[in-house]
Chains A and B, each alone.
Chain A
Amino acid sequence: MENHMIRASNLTVRLSGKTIVQGVSLEARAGQITAIVGPNGSGKTTTLKAVAGEIASEGAITLNGRDIRALEPWQLAVRRAVLPQAAVVAFPFTVREIVRLGLSVGPNRHAERVETITSAALAAVDLAGFAGRFYQELSGGEQQRVQLARVLSQIWEPVLDGEPCFLLLDEPVSALDIRHQLAVMRLAKRYCEGGGGVIAVLHDLNLTALFADHMVMMRGGRVVEAGPPVSVMTDDAMEAVFGCRMCVNGVPSHGIPFVLPQTARV
């Protein structure tokens, strides 16, 4: 249990001579949503890519105690799935075919359950009935949810052979309406309750406060604050990270309306 996490220590990433991420350490435990927040260009996505094993980096990265650089791509694919920020699909695949890719590529642990899992994954992202549509004909938000269904189907079981699996989500709710934002975050939550782990790059601070168990605040390629939202979301931390003074738990003056996802009931 001690090792059931993704751990990066002293992570440094240089892209074409420029240091993008410097000395970042983070622990994403199974059973928890770990949110990475920070301004544009703070190194959130780069950190996620390094953790996914997709780009070269210095420093140690372990998944359930194993060095990810010593693992083959298929071994990684069994344990973690990645939702990229933007996904362009080159050819006219149907929604079902895209989701099925998550299962049919690489080591398929569920050969006999491909169709079952495909349908269930689509239902999980509220896209039941979309299987026959062409991916290119969907809206941006629907495409994002199709990709999430594909990612989900890749590591459908949150715990496999007694070890947790991890979803790495880069801005999973950026194109979604508020109802689907909540639905996707609840999905992530349930994945964690099932024993898996989630690392998500998020821009919405309220969703982060609502769903994250652990949050990592980045600025300029470094970690500024890390901990549970309730303890790290302070006025000072907000200003230090985002460069603008905000009042945590403050109510806007002059009667300007505001709507918080915290109040949503579904």
Chain B
Amino acid sequence: MSLNEALGDKPVHRSRIPRASARRADGDRTAIARLTLVLLLVLSVVSLLLSVATGASDASVLGVLKALLTGAEDTVLSMRDRIIVFDIRLPRALLGFLIGAALAMSGTVMQGLFRNPLADPGLVGISSGSALGAVLVIVLGSSLPAGIVFTLGAYTLPIAAFGGGLATTLLLYRIATRGGQTSIATMLLAGIAIAALAGAVTGILVYMADDKQLRDVTFWGLGSLAGMTWLKVFTAGPLILLSLLVVPFLARGLNAVTLGEAAAFHMGVKVQRLKYIAVVTVAAAVGASVAVSGGIGFVGIVVPHLLRLVIGPDHRYLLPASALLGGVLLLAADMLARTIVAPAELPIGIITALAGAPFFLWVLLRDRARSGW
């Protein structure tokens, strides 16, 4: 016997569920979320194509399309154009999209996990840990045992950054976990402390660095998508792709955690396991991104905020939508970075911070006015 019958209420029939137009007033944002996902998919394809098509040199969109579709046999493109499109722009577009997706998705996961719309991989020290790993290699790279550098080659920097990010995350997890329970508050605060510590050690390394290393560190830290190669795509790409594939499985759990960890457990979620998978996944995605592109800020905070305004906080839609919009926005920022001072280019981190920080403040003030935070 259902409670409905127990209550003596008339059963509500499915046919009475209102049409899509009326649904939003009914508190159901499923339809608009699905529509948004489709739009973002289209935008993603468009931005990837545009990103490959634009740049300081003059390869036509049509030529690029033909080149992409027919492969190397095309004669419309000169050898130079082919190199520009396939070996410079294409890896840059692909990796740029993946990094934007990874950063935005990581921000969404962290915010869901910490139940705090301000949480971000940057905030809990994961980015700082990755940065420390990278700077360590840049500054002390010459004094590393030759064997290590020889074996790892171009992979040394990404691996060091990923290692730094993972080490920070695990340290954070150890500090914040007691008796099988992770305290979100401790984790957040410990993250701030660890970020400060990693920043200080990075500072010491920077102080020790010579002029060339200083330049490397500074440019890397500003964040840039310049110099993306297929090698970098193959180093960072798989890690990012893997984490993007894992994350959708966390959506229901993250939805439940929105009501608190206890409530999530009441609803049948293995909260400890959820936290563990989420944190390791974010470390992998952020470590891989930071390794190849340096510090690109605000994507992880701005993108989820924007999307929540439109489709609501349901992670089943928010996670994939964040990944797509993150990719689109980072490619857009990159196109701006490449064209605004062409033929030179701005580090993309400057653009995301210039656009992101005021936007973030605006959202913050708007939200405070609306819901009284």
**Chain A interface residues (CB < 8 Å from chain B):** 49, 52-54, 56, 72-78, 80-82, 84, 87-98, 101-102, 104-107, 113, 115-117, 119-120, 123-124, 131-133, 136-137, 150, 152, 154, 156-159, 187, 190-191, 193-195
CA distance A73 to B273 in the complex (A): 12
Q: How far is the CA of A53 from the CA of B271 in the complex (A)?
A: 13
Q: Which residue of A lies closest to B262 (CB)?
A: A54
A sample of 21 cross-chain residue pairs with beta-carbon separation below 8 angstroms, ordered by A number, consists of A72-B270, A73-B268, A77-B267, A84-B263, A87-B260, A92-B308, A95-B27, A97-B313, A101-B256, A101-B258, A105-B252, A105-B267, A105-B268, A106-B269, A115-B14, A117-B4, A120-B11, A132-B25, A136-B371, A187-B7, A190-B3
Asked if residues A94 and B7 are in contact (CB atoms below 8 Å), the reply is: no
Q: Could you tell me if A107 and B6 are in contact, using CB atoms closer than 8 angstroms? A: no
Q: By DSSP majority rule, is chain B's interface helix, strand, loop, or mixed? A: loop
A195 partner, pick from B1, B26, B116, B260, beta carbons under 8 A: B1
Determine the chain A residues whose CB is within 8 A of the CB of B6 once the complex forms: 158, 190-191, 193-194
Chain A residues within an 8 Å CB radius of B263: 82, 84, 87
Q: Let me know if B1 and A97 touch, CB within 8 A.
A: no
Beta-carbon contact of B265 and A156 below 8 Å? no
B34 at the interface (CB under 8 A from A): no
Nearest CB of B to A91, in Å: 4
| Contact A84-B268, Cβ < 8 Å, known A93-B312, A97-B314 | no
Instruction: List which B232-283 residues lie within 8 A (CB) of chain A.
Output: 252-253, 255-256, 258-260, 262-271
The chain B residue sitting closest to A113, CB to CB, is B14
The 8 Å CB contact of B266, one of A82, A120, A195, is A82
A90 to B271 alpha-carbon distance, docked (Å)? 17
Q: Is the CB of A152 within 8 A of B25?
A: no
Q: How far is the CB of A128 from the nearest CB of chain B, in Å?
A: 10
- Minimum distance in angstroms from A189 CB to a CB of chain B: 10
- B148 interfacial contact with A, CB 8 Å: no
Known: A52-B266, A105-B252, A116-B11. A158 touches B115 (CB 8 A): no
Q: Is B2's CB within 8 Å of the partner chain A? A: yes
The reply to whether B3 and A156 contact each other, CB–CB distance below 8 Å, is yes
Nearest CB on B from A28, distance (A): 17
B87 CB–A CB distance under 8 Å: no
Given contacts A76-B268, A105-B267, A124-B7, contact A91 B258 (CB under 8 A): yes
Q: Is B9 an interface residue (CB 8 A)?
A: yes
B255 touches A158 (CB 8 A): no
CB-CB under 8 A from B268, the residues of chain A are 72-78, 105-107
When distances are taken between beta carbons in the complex, the residues of chain B under 8 Å from A131 are: 26-28
Chain B interface, number of residues (Cβ within 8 angstroms): 45
| Contact A132/B24 with A54-B262, A76-B268, A124-B3 known, Cβ cut-off 8 Å | yes
With both chains docked as a complex, state the minimum distance between the C-beta of A120 and any C-beta of chain B, in angstroms.
5
List chain B positions with a Cβ less than 8 A from chain A: 1-7, 9, 11-14, 17, 24-29, 115-117, 179, 252-253, 255-256, 258-260, 262-271, 308, 312-314, 371
Q: How far is the CB of B261 from chain A (nearest CB, A)?
A: 9
Is the beta-carbon distance between A105 and B256 smaller than 8 angstroms?
yes
CB distance from A109 to the nearest CB of B (A): 11
The smallest C-beta distance from A211 to any residue of chain B, in angstroms, reads 16
Checking A84, A132, A137 against B260 with a beta-carbon cut-off of 8 angstroms, the contacting residue is: A84
Q: Is the pair B9, A120 in contact by a Cβ cutoff of 8 Å?
A: yes
Q: Residues of B contacting A190 with CB < 8 Å?
A: 3, 6-7
Residues of chain B within 8 A of A157, CB atoms compared: 1-3
16 further interface pairs, Cβ-Cβ under 8 Å (given A106-B268, A132-B24, A194-B3) = A73-B270, A82-B262, A84-B262, A84-B263, A87-B263, A91-B313, A94-B28, A97-B314, A101-B267, A105-B268, A113-B14, A115-B14, A117-B4, A119-B12, A131-B28, A190-B3
Q: Which residues of A contact B314 (CB under 8 A)?
A: 93, 97
Q: How far is the CA of A104 from the CA of B317 in the complex (A)?
A: 13
B258 touches A93 (CB 8 A): yes
Q: Given A90-B115, A91-B308, A94-B312, is A54 in contact with B371 using a C-beta cutoff of 8 Å?
A: no
Q: Verify A94–B29 contact, CB threshold 8 A.
A: yes
- Asked if residues B26 and A105 are in contact (CB atoms below 8 Å), the reply is no
By Cβ-Cβ distance, the 3 closest A-B pairs, closest first, are A106-B268, A77-B268, A96-B27
Distance of A124 Cα from B264 Cα, bound (Å): 23
Do the beta carbons of B269 and A73 come within 8 Å of each other? yes
* B267–A102 CB distance below 8 A: yes
Name the contact of A90 in the complex, choosing from B4, B12, B258 (C-beta under 8 A).
B258
Q: Is the CB of A158 within 8 A of B1?
A: yes
Cβ B28 vs Cβ A96 within 8 A: yes
Judging by beta carbons under 8 Å apart, are A156 and B269 in contact?
Answer: no
Report whether B27 and A133 are in contact in the complex, using a CB–CB cutoff of 8 Å.
Answer: yes
Assuming the contacts A73-B268, A194-B1, asked whether A97 and B256 have C-beta atoms less than 8 A apart, the reply is: no
Collect the chain B residues with CB atoms within 8 Å of residue A158's CB.
1, 3, 6
Interface-centre pick from A104, A117, A156 (highest chain B CB count, 10 A): A104
Least Cβ–Cβ distance between B314 and chain A, in angstroms: 6
Residues of A within 8 A of B271 (CB): 73
How long is the Cα–Cα vector from A150 to B264 in the complex, in angstroms? 12
Contact A123 B9 (CB under 8 A): yes
Q: Are B312 and A105 in contact (CB under 8 A)?
A: no
**Which residue from chain B places its CB closest to the CB of A168 in the assembled complex?**
B266
Name the A residues within 8 Å of B1 (CB-CB): 157-159, 194-195
